[in-house]
Amino acid sequence: MAEFEHRIVRASVHEVALPLLKTFVTGFGNTSSRHTVLVHLVDEEGFEGWGEAPALDHPFYLSETTSTTFSVIVEYALDLALRSPSSDPRDVAHAMSPIRGNTFARAGVEAAFWALTSAREGRPLASLFGGTATRVAVGESLSIADTLDETIEEVALRLEEGYRRIKLKIRPGWDIEVVRAVRETFGDGVLLQVDANASYTLDDVEALRALDNFGLLCIEQPLGFDDIEGSAVLQRQLQTPICLDEAIRSLSDARRALDIDACRNINVKPGRVGGLVASLEIHDLCVEREIPMWCGGMLESGIGRSANLALCSLPGFNQPADMSPASVLYADDLVDPTFEVEPEGYVAVPTAPGLGFNVVPHRIVERTVRFAALDAVTHDIRERSLEYVDL
Ligand code: OSB
Ligand code: MG
């Protein structure tokens, strides 16, 4: 890729408040406030790259939070990335590899370098990844609701809008009844799956086995967030494929899980696995082992979603993605125009180089609650008053 070094003249980090329309309710609890972290790079020729590090505000999905992500990027990840021998995202990912864990932080920085590289080379992100699909089948991930009627109503709306798959969030006490109600109302033709977000234990095998009767595509992360071994024990007792989300935070986690049959389906989120490079490696592993896979979501803004869409253009992403557009989640998006779901349930893969969408600088500036810029030469952190946030 980059044969010669392009100097980054500006690197900044923004914590941005996103206006969530309603509380997202899952097996790990409620998400009512959503701040995301953005990385912005500008090189000496004026090319820019945006990346998103979409950890949640709280440490109840995984250990990283918006705050830890912001700090690790500002204090460590950006400095290592800027010392990389080249700005090729693979080199950048390697340069950040001394950082243990903190996958969202590393992924956000790496994503900005991918977008920058794409802009410089004038090639869409999807083509840099080697992806060929021009559109991505999408599904919705439905929050746990107060009543079954509410869920039925929302499923009806999404199916009418064309969404190609429904994922119901479940937890003990909100599982078999909601799945049965959706199957009884909409029939067996609907692609349906559930996501427990680590809210069951091996003592709940009977409740989970009861779900085998509903022809689900998968049961996502039934057991503890890091319980790969337990998942293998459970998979032996279930017909429905287990899909791992939380428990796979690297290529080696994915390999370990597949080696012991802890899952037969994988949800790939670039933030969770440490970046797009790791996502591509997990993709290749799943293709080699013929494991169905799909791209999950972290309620990203259009900035993070655009990289996810490019990733989904690869052939191994053979099940619908969690890709509800901003119109479902937020009052508005950080990109404009943003994407919507086409009537047949697809979203187009961006074709323009860079992010493939135009960011709206004034929305980012207005919603930035924490900001830091790195000195381009010394990499010293220059935390500035928010009054000076400017793009
Ligand atoms: O478990 O897949 C999950 C959102 C935040 C954290 C974890 C998860 C989710 C979702 C939402 O299910 C998917 C989306 O981004 O649309
Ligand atoms: Mg999940």
| DSSP codes of every residue in 305-360 | HHHHHHHTTSTTB-S-EE---HHHHBSS-SBSS-----TTSEEEPP-SSBTSS-B-
User: 238 CA distance to ligand 1 centroid (A)?
Assistant: 23
Active-site entry in 120, 269, 272, 363: 269
What does the pLDDT average to over 318-328? 97
Element (H or E) spanning 382, and its range?
Answer: strand 381-382
Tell me whether residue 22 is one of the annotated catalytic residues: no
Q: Examine the pLDDT at 3 and tell me if it is beyond 50.
A: no
- Ligand 2 midpoint to CA 373 (Å): 33
- Mean pLDDT over 104-120 rounds to 98
Residue 387 in this model has a pLDDT that exceeds 60: no
Peptide bond into 59 cis (omega under 30): no
CA angle, 218 then 220 then 225, to 5°: 155
Neighbours of ion ligand 2 (CB under 5 A): 195, 220, 245
Tell whether the torsion through CA atoms of 143, 144, 149 and 151 is positive or negative.
positive
Catalytic pick from 169, 171, 272, 370? 169
* Per-residue pLDDT reduced to its tens digit, 333-349: 999 999 999 999 999 99
Give 322 Cα–ligand 2 centroid separation in angstroms: 9
pLDDT in tens, 49-77: 999 999 999 999 999 999 999 999 999 99
195 lines ligand 1 (CB under 6 A): yes
Please count the other Cβ atoms lying within 10 Å of the Cβ belonging to residue 382: 12
Is any atom of ligand 1 closer than 6 Å to the C-beta of 345? Answer: no
Cα–Cα dist 243/387, whole Å? 45
Q: Pick from 295, 32, 249, 300: which is nearest to 143 by CA?
A: 32
Beta carbons within 10 angstroms of residue 133's beta carbon: 16
User: How much of the chain exceeds pLDDT 90, in percent?
Assistant: 94
d(CA 375, CA 199): 44
Reference 71, options 114, 31, 13, 16; nearest CA is: 13
Closest residue by CA, ligand 1 atom 13 = 297
Q: For 75-102, how does the pLDDT look when each residue is reduced to its tens digit (9 = 90+)?
A: 999 999 999 999 999 999 999 999 999 9
In the three-class reduction of DSSP (H, G, I as helix; E, B as strand; rest coil), residue 150 is classed as helix
- Nearest residue (CA) to ligand 1, atom 1: 197
377 band by pLDDT with thresholds 50, 70 and 90:
confident
CB 296 less than 6 A from any atom of ligand 1: yes
Kindly report the average pLDDT of the chain as a whole number. Answer: 95
Supply the pLDDT for residue 391.
Answer: 72
At residue 315, the pLDDT reads 98
167 is catalytic: no
Distance from the alpha carbon of residue 370 to the mean position of ligand 1, in angstroms: 24
CA–CA dist 196, 252 (Å, integer): 23
Share of the chain above pLDDT 70, in %: 96
Question: Is residue 107 pLDDT above 50, yes or no?
Answer: yes
Q: Which atom of ligand 1 is nearest to the CA of 220?
A: 1
DSSP string for residues in 158-224:
HHHHT-SEEEEE-BTTBSHHHHHHHHHHH-TTS-EEEE-TT---GGGHHHHHGGGGG--S-EE--S-
61's tokens:
């999905």
Q: Whose CA is nearest to atom 8 of ligand 1?
A: 298
The pLDDT value recorded for residue 384 is: 61
**Is the separation of the CB atoms in 225 and 246 below 8 Å?**
yes
Quick: pLDDT tens for 274-311: 999 999 999 999 999 999 999 999 999 999 999 999 99
Round to whole Å and give the CA distance between 200 and 194: 13
